Structure 1
Amino acid sequence: MITAVDHVQLAAEPGSEPALRAYYGDVLGMVEIPKPPVLAARGGVWFRAGSVQLHLGVERDFRPARKAHPGLRVTGIEEFAARLTDRGAPVIWNDDLPGHRRFYSEDPVGNRLEFLERLG
């Protein structure tokens, strides 16, 4: 029986780890977590915020996910959007999901990310 999502894996181009660290760590405020040595040898980087984990793995023929994306719940979405904007990340608001305030952004390699907060 499935009880939770353990992590979400996104792909990234080889050599993009410094840009990913800057975005996921400095812009989003996530904490980098160590990869097991056998997996670290493959490249990529992992991050955590609370119980949410995002793993970014290296893919040689990388193409960013333009439609597929993780949906990340946040608190204080207006302030969070301002944080991203202040740090140069795109923020594209979308009001199509009833009962939520949400926006889309993308990481430095072009992966789509959704950030949302329930209203009320």
Structure 2
Amino acid sequence: MVQTSARVISRTWLRKIWTGGQTVETCPSFCTDNHRNDDIGALDDLQHGVEFEGPELAVFNVEDGTAEWPVLAGRINVDPYNEDAKRRVPHVNLNVFKDEVMECLSPDDFAAVIAAVRAH
């Protein structure tokens, strides 16, 4: 039996900086970003992170009708060269909801929303 594996992206690489110089970058243990285009760029363009999903809820949108939309999804992120010290350490960017409204929920519909958020 032949086993195949996904291509492993190096978690440490040499990065050239547009303004001159270079640096060796190493991903934190939680990082799942592929960094394919991060071998050259501005110093503060680099981010490390991992996405996380939120529960999907049936939401009404005037243009599209009812569709499943994720809520409480986000990303654990670190911007190692950002000027803001809070962004240089791991932090969460939470997408609470995407500018959509849930209308006319019955008591059972509302209970289902609460249950989905609790389960998440």
TM-score of the aligned structures, taking structure 2 as reference length: 0.25
Higher relative contact order (CA 8 A, sep 6+): 1
Normalising by structure 1, what TM-score? 0.25
Higher Rg: 2
Structure with more helix by fraction: 1
